[in-house]
Structure 1
């Protein structure tokens, strides 16, 4: 739960023309940590909403937003979703947005919402391009239940029943991505002592890599993850304060 999650008003806007109904329940498990969901809307044409999406939207209390195509090949649903998102922000009905889509066309909307101070989360599929992932504050990848999870996918899929945790731990094998070392090197270079505080490091990693989570790589938290790196040194300076730096052997 985020520090201000209880005060945030969340809008969940679904691009039904570019997503599968099965993703919706996953999205609703993700967003409560950010605040109270005040808007639930699903956008699509008549064929999409009447066939694939009708049951899911009704069952999960979403308002269907039907958009007719005024000309062949024109997708009016995207425009309606974008306009409703900006209107909700300007009317102060929502300050946090969860867009359920894998369409890179929404990357610009994400940037505009964030420029106005809103927080934007994306729930999408593996096909989601980097342009969309990196335009959000945090990206959550939904994986179909029939697809075997990999070490790069969402941590929720490796938090299974107690009996399977050992197998999951072996699968992720405590990975140590190099970009963590590069982040420490970059941030520490800006300090006199060549050390970066744990909190700002975590913030930087999340902002730079929206889908980043230590659990994805098989670690319980950022501290546990950093302690597995031979090239990094973690030290406590005062109670509750930790500093991270490149180890001497890493060759600064």
Structure 2
């Protein structure tokens, strides 16, 4: 029996850059198999660049005419289709590509029914929509290349890359303290810790603090201690519990 997660990718074309869709699909690949791919918009939106994007990435275009000025029927169609997909059990994980806060309630209803919801949006995405999801992925538009003036007399020196500043936020220690206190062993699985951090802040990512992963981030702390267990998985506990008697951390 195949237990692979089934994912529906629903794109709000009226409030999204076409270039964000490929980024969304790269994120989706981490979570499961895409079974539904749809793009929603009006007749003006689903043309030109959006038409090319939807065709090349094998999305089903869902054209919604505006029956009255100022009424966005595409949003309602996306929301209704999402609920139908959930009730028909075609997917249990949803990637909604949008920066529109109108979808906050949809995210809440999907999660209430047991679905996992991810949002892919731009920096302008409201906080309410970010927090309504299980995890938020921010898409950054590529930096525009400005036309350079006349060729300079001497070639410019390559800019040195800014060093990555590694930070150790206090909330990670607080999370370990909270989760480990509920266990008789005084430790928490690394995966459970990661899930908790993403649930409390859908934007959480070790990369934002200068680390390649959560384990590397945990190892940088003095107050918490990771340990590789016999099964190969890692657990995390407060470091003071690992110190020999009389030794201070």
User: For residue 212 of structure 1, what is the aligned residue in structure 2?
Assistant: 204
- TM-score normalised to structure 1 length: 0.80
The answer for unaligned runs of 5 or more in structure 1 is: 148-165
1:242–1:21 distance in 2 versus 1, CA, 3 Å: closer
1:229–1:83 distance in 2 versus 1, CA, 3 Å: same
- Give the drift of 1:178: 2.2
Instruction: Give SS of 1:127's match.
Output: coil
Q: CA RMSD in A?
A: 2.5
- 1:183 matches 2:175: yes
- Give the drift of 1:25: 1.0
- 1:40 matches 2:37: yes
Q: Provide the rounded CA distance (Å) in 1 between the counterparts of 2:168 and 2:127.
A: 21
The answer for unaligned runs of 5 or more in structure 2 is: 145-159
- 1:99 matches 2:96: yes
Q: Provide the rounded CA distance (Å) in 1 between the counterparts of 2:195 and 2:142.
A: 30
- TM-score normalised to structure 2 length: 0.81
- 1:201 matches 2:198: no
- Give the drift of 1:196: 3.1
Matches within 5 A, 1:126-205: 126-146=123-143, 167=161, 170-171=163-164, 173-192=165-184, 194-205=186-197
Kindly provide the CA deviation profile for residues 99-157 of structure 1, in whole angstroms up to 9, marking residues without a partner as x.
Answer: 0001111111111111212121111111111211121122111111117xxxxxxxxxx
User: For residue 154 of structure 1, what is the aligned residue in structure 2?
Assistant: none
Q: Provide the rounded CA distance (Å) in 1 between the counterparts of 2:18 and 2:99.
A: 13
User: For residue 223 of structure 2, what is the aligned residue in structure 1?
Assistant: 231
Q: Provide the rounded CA distance (Å) in 1 between the counterparts of 2:10 and 2:92.
A: 13
More helix by share: 1
Q: 1:81 aligns with which of 78, 82, 87?
A: 78
Aligned pair count? 226
Instruction: Give SS of 1:74's match.
Output: coil
Q: 1:114 aligns with which of 87, 95, 111?
A: 111
